[in-house]
Amino acid sequence: MTISARPIHQEDTVDYAEALERYEPVMGLEVHVELNTATKMFCGCATGFGADPNTQTCPVCLGLPGALPVVNKAAVESAIRIGLALNCQIAPWCRFARKNYFYPDMPKNFQTSQYDEPIAFDGWLEVEVPASEAGEAFTYRVEIERAHMEEDTGKSTHVGGATGRIHGADYSLVDFNRAGIPLIEIVTKPLTGAGDRAPEVAKAYVAALRDLLKALDVSEVKMEQGNVRCDANVSLMPKGSDTFGTRTETKNVNSLRSVERAVRYEITRHAAILDAGEKVFQETRHWHEDTGITTAGRPKSDADDYRYFPEPDLVPVAPSPEDVERLRGTLPEPPAQRRKRLQEEWGYSDLEMRDVVNAGAVEVIEETVAAGASPAAARKWWTGDLARRANTDGVAVTELGVTPAHIAELDGLVREGRLNDSMARQVMEGVVAGEGGPTQVADARGLELVQDDGALQAAVDKVIAANPDVVEKIQGGKVQAAGALIGQVMKEMRGQADAAKARELILATLGVEG
Ligand code: ADP
Ligand code: MG
Ligand code: ZN
């Protein structure tokens, strides 16, 4: 039996820039989000990750005869909040549907999903696409087709083969702990007009969606653990045409970088097929992170017939307008807006804010400023010394045992003149080493700027007397030569002096204007 006639040259690609001269890409992004509810979509089983196989199951999620599902209210509320945050309409009445197909890790032989009656539809999300080699930053409005509720499948493990895939395996194991975990699938309308920036739009959209889901606190949003998975549909049409080409659907892309790369790769592959006068084969594709290519999955026609029909064992979901408005009241400030507001409040430059966002330090800086530190000090610690330390130790910056209150306390010690910068660093080392809070560490290590001006003046006099050549330079107008003297004064004071004060005193003693 021949399932498909594959074009022989389908794995050729053309140069990306060349492809974009002749074709306009169209994308459709389907994102599956695993919710963070305590229990499953249709039963009371726990959803925790990492439990022993098949310990979080019951007759409902195992699909045993006669078992009756009940909808998880918390999951429906999360779905509505996601829909509202995506500017969608919320259906006043909708049903679940059975999507019928066989797969060994799906014990009911159908997935309970939604079909033509999604809980949320017709929305949009404005996405900021950052500047890149390809051009300026810009805003792209992603139109959302729908967001619907469904359940996850179980997990198969294929044992014995070299690849971990079913082909070549000796036997397969199935774990149903994941079966029935609530999923929301968010589907975009076809995205057009992004031109050569299409792969960047795809990445920026998934990133913006992830930030939004995190702010909503509806999912763990760990892409590497599969909490957020993206299927990327791509097609090309000749420039000037408005008839969409045949799409391919690259499945389960699970990092932001991969979303961009997979879309880019498919554009170059489709272009080669169309250039050769051949037809793109409508199918799913597998993304290969290591080689950066996709390979054929299964043929997929738009007419695939899952024999959808309304789920007879579940009552319809009918949120009242009051419920919807109550949930709208729980929406967080949109992440992009929040970042802009905080940047202004903190007085950071665009570059500084980008570093803070990339370091994932927005929340911790917010807490640190709230605890009383200056925004500048909060940024310096969390994206500087502490970030480096966390990186070396291979932990998150928030796992170093340093709290926002510690930073605020340390910043206070610097501002009241007890510590200079290098002393503050030593104190921080002590805090990271578990020696206690900043004041405690400073006390224990005897770190304190010498406030006794007499001692500082004596050190200044001694250094001036020992360096007549430098003194001559300074008095001849080379004020920057004072740096050498400051260094020596600091040494005399065993580091426990305020460098700015030492400089002032040196110049005053020499009768030179700073
Ligand atoms: P499927 O059942 O195949 O997953 P969906 O409707 O769930 O279908 O998702 C298809 C996605 O592909 C949607 O985001 C849709 O906007 C997009 N899409 C549809 N046609 C095309 C096309 N010709 N090129 C690119 N994307 C497309
Ligand atoms: Mg789909
Ligand atoms: Zn169960």
**Mean pLDDT taken over the chain:** 93
Domain boundary among 225, 257, 289: 257
Q: Give the pLDDT confidence score for residue 500 in this predicted structure.
A: 83
Our mutation pick for probing the ligand 1 site, out of 187, 209, 243, counting the most ligand atoms within 8 A of Cβ, is 187
Residue 465 CA neighbour count, 13 Å, CB half: 6
Q: Give the pLDDT confidence score for residue 495 in this predicted structure.
A: 80
Pocket residues for ligand 1 (CB within 6 Å)? 26-30, 145, 187-190, 233-235, 244-245, 247
433: pLDDT confidence band, cut at 50, 70 and 90? very high
Residue 13 lies in a domain: no
* pLDDT of 384 strictly over 50: yes
pLDDT tens digit string along 196-239? 999 999 999 999 999 999 999 999 999 988 899 999 999 999 99
* pLDDT of 181 strictly over 90: yes
* CATH assignment at residue 499: 1.10.10
Q: Give the pLDDT confidence score for residue 448 in this predicted structure.
A: 85
Answer yes or no: do 66 and 194 share one domain. yes
Answer yes or no: do 438 and 472 share one domain. no
Greater pLDDT, 114 or 166: 114
Q: Give the pLDDT confidence score for residue 249 in this predicted structure.
A: 97
- Dist. CA 440–CA 445, nearest whole Å: 9
Our mutation pick for probing the ligand 1 site, out of 24, 27, 29, 30, counting the most ligand atoms within 8 A of Cβ, is 30
User: Which of 190, 216, 89, 191 has the alpha carbon at shortest distance from 140?
Assistant: 191
Distance 42 CA to ligand 3 centre (A): 7
Residue 295 lies in a domain: no
- Atom of ligand 1 at shortest range from CA of 300: 3
303: pLDDT confidence band, cut at 50, 70 and 90? low
Report whether 338 contacts 128 (CB < 8 A): no
* pLDDT of 7 strictly over 70: no
- Overall residue count recorded for the chain in this entry: 514
User: Which of 100, 110, 189, 115 has the alpha carbon at shortest distance from 148?
Assistant: 115
Answer yes or no: do 87 and 177 share one domain. yes
Report whether 217 contacts 36 (CB < 8 A): yes
Answer yes or no: do 61 and 193 share one domain. yes
* pLDDT of 149 strictly over 80: yes
348: pLDDT confidence band, cut at 50, 70 and 90? very high
Percentage of residues in the chain having pLDDT higher than 90: 77
- Dist. CA 460–CA 503, nearest whole Å: 9
156: pLDDT confidence band, cut at 50, 70 and 90? very high
Tokens of 255: 């990092």
Answer yes or no: do 390 and 430 share one domain. yes
Our mutation pick for probing the ligand 1 site, out of 144, 241, 247, 250, counting the most ligand atoms within 8 A of Cβ, is 247
Domain boundary among 413, 445, 477: 445
Residue 185 lies in a domain: yes
pLDDT tens digit string along 58-101? 999 999 999 999 999 999 999 999 999 999 999 999 999 999 99
Answer yes or no: do 459 and 395 share one domain. no
Q: What are phi and psi of 115, to 5 degrees?
A: -120, -95
Answer yes or no: do 253 and 378 share one domain. no
Answer yes or no: do 403 and 472 share one domain. no
Q: Give the pLDDT confidence score for residue 10 in this predicted structure.
A: 47
* pLDDT of 1 strictly over 70: no
Q: Give the pLDDT confidence score for residue 497 in this predicted structure.
A: 81
pLDDT tens digit string along 96-110? 999 999 989 999 999
Q: Give the pLDDT confidence score for residue 2 in this predicted structure.
A: 43
Answer yes or no: do 406 and 437 share one domain. yes
* pLDDT of 462 strictly over 80: yes
Report whether 33 contacts 182 (CB < 8 A): no
> Which residues make Cβ contacts (< 8 Å) with residue 237, sequence separation at least 6?
23, 24, 26, 243, 244, 245
> Which residues make Cβ contacts (< 8 Å) with residue 366, sequence separation at least 6?
342
User: Which of 196, 254, 264, 202 has the alpha carbon at shortest distance from 230?
Assistant: 254
3-class DSSP state of 24: strand
Q: DSSP letter at 135? A: B
Nearest CA to ligand 1 atom 1: 302
Name residues with Cβ closer than 5 Å to ligand 3, which is an ion.
43, 45, 58, 60-61
Residue 174 lies in a domain: yes
Answer yes or no: do 409 and 428 share one domain. yes
Greater pLDDT, 203 or 457: 203
Report whether 436 contacts 430 (CB < 8 A): yes
* pLDDT of 514 strictly over 80: no
* pLDDT of 8 strictly over 70: no
417: pLDDT confidence band, cut at 50, 70 and 90? confident
Answer yes or no: do 112 and 53 share one domain. yes
> How far from the centroid of its chain's Cα atoms is residue 456's Cα?
51
163: pLDDT confidence band, cut at 50, 70 and 90? confident
- Total domains present in the chain: 3
Range of the domain at 105: 28-235+245-257
